Structure 1
């Protein structure tokens, strides 16, 4: 998780000359009490971090670091695989491009990626990708080696090729997908959507997606370290889960959504309307989420612009990745937290919900 670039091809997502700085306002968070989400025993914040295979965590409030910790060998400068937190970086890049008029989310995917015109993506819009609402047929069952999410890994070289007929590039794999439902309907979490979005970004700009993310997100927000994204044999970016970055830069990213799209030093990065739209959702976002084909463990929640909203009537939203990656944003408490982990299994409902509860408890303790 901390060494992807040493054994897989990656494209750097370069930082710029300017790095924004956090202030320091340390608090002892270790003994903050955390109520178990399913009625188990009350534990401490440190207990939750210790029980959830944590590589590193950070809590910030209004641009000040109040707590931060790393488990060896991870350090403040280590880049760590973000898994599907990568999706939220990619949708934010889309928002920046939309704000500048470079990309239109109402246009069809095939307008930007002609190679997908005859695939299941025919008729889908960019907005459908951003909100995971296409009708493309794709299984996200991580424990099924024949599921499309695992075949995708064969296509990009993340897994041995054991299934016949799998394309040898990411775009070729996306072009092979069919559809089994209407576009714009229910929420259906599918990693392929963000990979298609990466090619939309490349089609709209005529540039490598990692370079676009650098110019439109990473540099403007004042990242301290270069990130990188895993690429396939021809340089196609795996934006669904292949970005690696430092914990502090994740906190910088989350802070954009506390500050109406502005970086810690006041530089505009994301359109304020994009942040507002993320928080408000579409008129039917919650209905689409409630109709999801798979359990979400988030009753009353929604998914909008690459972020998870775990409950109704709350200012809390999340960027999430399997094996325990998270950016936590609490606008009411002015808290952004992030956690990078190495869970032994891709998904674990108890670890996920106790981590959210731990960050909730810390956020409210800082008010």
Structure 2
């Protein structure tokens, strides 16, 4: 049988004379499965199925300590496979999971595990990259600091990071980056190798660095310019969370991996250590570098469902989530004017959380590219987690289908539970 072909990376082409030019040929000398997964191809199908579960083997990573006293998760198992969902091309939960490249799936209702699944080599102890779900976790660190009056969301960003006065973030508030409404010029177009998100990615060590790319995420941020006034339309851009992470680290005087552990991971009762990738300067990738186990992400979702409360301890200020779920009018208007409105009509973005209207109140979403999701619906008591490896970074059909599937599960469980 011939060796499997190495698929060309859709947005990276090795430059002649670089160390990556012949990496696949050299990789054939090594023992183990082929093709070789490298910084040049790890986000590409089919490599990402392996890489999303082995990030620490691809790039430097920092440990986020869990706890020896995890939050118990009672189980009330029910097979949801045949449950019908309103998706024409995947009319049952089983078909939806199969057709959306699912690696792991968890449903909790009223705090108990209803359904838990792992696909392929994914397992209960294995960490999976959550991409931009990381943003919501970093924002929870900001919430904790705000609750302790160490961070003021209405303060100018320069109050915490004076260097930001020299770049496109000058004049922005912490609230501006929390809600992704800065005027900084930054394109989040994943399939364009020249877009700002890809330059930043190379700078932070997620891809081979090109000549002229800044070394490190924070140096990249300092190259930004403003293309419009701050606090206008919502524009989803990862750099906003990286600016927020810098602000949070300065406000606390600690690095992000330690802050997540102390202010989020241990307090929610996370059993397993999580990990977060770091750039060449040792800075955590705030916008998408965290890897965690499925059940610990479920514990994170339960904390959000309970407005920051875990066993009587307020991990986040109650008002942080309440404000996000019922934001000022301009937040909704900023979303309505964005390119996201046609995909998630009636939605909004606040405190690094997505929201969409539900049957009886809002649904909170933490989302990451390639199909990562934490779903929280207060009206039905449902918390869902789905970890995936979609072939493309963004797929509106699969995103909406997954949301609708969780909504259908929530309705059914709420109806059956009385």
Secondary structure at the aligned position of 2:309 is classed as coil
Could you say what secondary structure the match of 1:315 adopts? Answer: strand
Match of 2:295 among 239, 248, 253: 248
Matched, 1:21 2:72: yes
1:35 aligned onto 2:110: no
CA RMSD of aligned residues (A): 1.3
Alignment of 1:19-168 (within 5 A): 19-36=70-87, 40=88, 43-162=91-210, 164-168=211-215
Unaligned 5+ segments in structure 1 are: none
Structure 1 residues 165, 362: CA separation in 2 closer, same or farther (over 3 Å shift)?
same
Q: Which residue of 1 aligns with 2:55?
A: 4
Task: List structure 1 runs of 4+ shifted beyond 3 angstroms.
Answer: 293-296, 311-314
1:25-54 alpha-carbon deviations (Å, 9 max, x no partner):
111211110112xxx356101110000000
Q: Tell me, which stretches of 5 or more residues in structure 2 are unaligned?
A: 1-51
Say whether the 8 Å CA contact 1:35–1:41 is kept in structure 2: no
Aligned to 1:177: 224
Q: Deviations over 1:303-326 (max 9, x none)?
A: 111111123763212100000000
Q: 2:281 is matched with which residue?
A: 234
Aligned mates of 1:44, 1:69 — CA distance in 2: 15
Is the 1:135–1:185 contact (alpha carbons within 8 Å) kept by the matching residues of 2?
A: yes
Which residue of 246, 253, 260 maps to 2:307? 260
In our comparison, the structure showing a higher alpha carbon Rg is 2
Alignment partner of 1:285: what SS?
A: helix
2:266 is the alignment partner of 1:215: no
**Aligned equivalents of 1:341 and 1:294: distance in 2?**
21
Equivalent-residue separation in structure 1 for 2:396 and 2:361 (angstroms): 20
CA contact (8 A) 2:68 2:271 kept: no
- Equivalent residue in structure 2 for 1:203, among 245, 250, 267: 250
1:86, 1:49 → 2: CA distance?
A: 23
Mapped partners of 2:164, 2:83: distance in 1: 50
Cα deviation 1:155-181 (Å, max 9, x = unaligned): 01111123x422111100001011101
C-alpha contact (below 8 Å) 1:195/1:237 kept by paired residues:
no
Bigger Cα displacement from structure 2, 278-287 vs 309-318: 309-318
Q: 2:322 aligns with which of 262, 276, 282?
A: 276
Count of equivalent residues: 362
The separation in 1 between residues aligned to 2:208 and 2:315, in whole angstroms, is 39
Contact 2:371–2:389 (CA<8 Å) still a contact in 1? yes
Deviation of 1:295 after TM superposition, in Å, equals 5.6
SS across alignment from 1:23: coil
Go from structure 1 to structure 2 and tell me whether the alpha carbon gap of 1:201 and 1:35 turns closer, same or farther (over 3 Å shift): same
